[in-house]
Amino acid sequence: MMQPPLFDNGIDSVEVFKGIRFPGFIHTQESLRAACSFQFQDTDVLLVTFPKSGTTWMQQVLSLVFCEGHLGSIHHVPNWERMPWLEQIFFGKLCSSLNPGQPRLLTSHLPAEALGPVLQHSKARVVYMARNPKDVLVSFYHFHKLVNFLPDPSSFEDFVDEFLKGTGFFGSWFEHVKGWLGLQQDLNMLFVTYEELYQEPRATLQKLGDFLGRPLGPEKEDSILEQCTFSFMSQSSGVNYSQVPTTVMDPSRGLFMRKGVMGDWKKHFSPEQNETFNAVYQAKMGNSGLQLPWTMD
């Protein structure tokens, strides 16, 4: 199969797919369509997130679980090669170079409607990771300022508006979470949150190990937990995005490993923004019957 040429599109180009905007720099119609017809194998593990929900953190956890706590030679292999994104232009090439002796570890930001149909034909394990949307919003706002393939937000206020309307890049957080949770009964899926990994890392790791059929034990758990801390990952070139060219991610404008905490939204939201956010959250999520594990204040 012919691989699409890498970085064929300009850094600020936009690809609209299923009504959602994606950065055209790393997505094309072909790469997005190909993801929707990807043939999963029962041994695949797919991590799905809305951007800024702790994707890279979970990629590090999953890589470590599957190498029994010893990253060894993959320590410096960037996360996008260890666990490539299904929908990105590099996917075909990266997927074919994944270690054939191991389950394929894959990542996606696509909404449930895009991947649900193909996933339902397989027993592939899906780990869905969610984060308090207020912290997602703040992290995404800073990420827009950091990377050149997303537009600079005009103001925090406008960014909040766009997030609540669900018209920003990668679509609506609300639809993303509801869509994937709606597939819980149909897929081999584990729902995990940033907050539980933050507050109860060992218990969350054990839950993941069990779900993945890789029970770990205290020694491996210690080793994994040590290599998943914010400080360890900040120093690790495999997961701190320092291998990205500065024309794409400019370190003078911030760091990918920014703060890594719960509740940073409190330093950004005005009382009015918080009130508006809570009202929209309640309207969109309140009657969904979903029990999501964060408080909104």
* Catalytic sites, residue numbers: 109
Tell me if 201 contacts ligand A3P by CB under 6 A: no
**CB 286 → ligand A3P: shortest distance, Å?**
25
Amino acid at 71: L
Q: Which of 150, 187, 233, 249 binds ligand A3P (CB under 6 A)?
A: 233
Which is nearer to ligand A3P, 31 or 53 (by Cβ)?
Answer: 53
**CB 254 → ligand A3P: shortest distance, Å?**
9
Strands 45-49 and 105-108: parallel
* Measured torsion, CA atoms of residues 120, 126, 132, 135, in degrees rounded to the nearest 10: -110
**CB 20 → ligand A3P: shortest distance, Å?**
17
Which is nearer to ligand A3P, 76 or 259 (by Cβ)?
Answer: 259
Amino acid at 267: K
Q: Which of 264, 274, 285, 296 binds ligand A3P (CB under 6 A)?
A: 264
Q: Which of 88, 132, 139, 204 binds ligand A3P (CB under 6 A)?
A: 139
How far apart, in whole angstroms, are the C-alpha atoms of residue 277 and residue 161?
9
Distance of CA 168 to the CA centre of its chain: 16
* Assigned token pair, 76: 């410096």
Stretch that binds ligand A3P, among 29-37, 111-119, 206-214, 223-231 (CB under 6 A): 223-231
Contacts of 119 (CB under 8 A, 6+ apart): 40, 46, 126, 183, 187
How far apart, in whole angstroms, are the C-alpha atoms of residue 45 and residue 233?
22
Stretch that binds ligand A3P, among 6-14, 22-30, 182-190, 255-263 (CB under 6 A): 255-263
**Residue given tokens 């054990």 in the structure block:** 206
How far apart, in whole angstroms, are the C-alpha atoms of residue 240 and residue 230?
10
Stretch that binds ligand A3P, among 6-14, 97-105, 147-155, 251-259 (CB under 6 A): 251-259
Can you give the binding site for ligand A3P, defined by CB under 6 A? 49, 51-57, 135, 139, 142, 228-230, 233, 257-260, 264
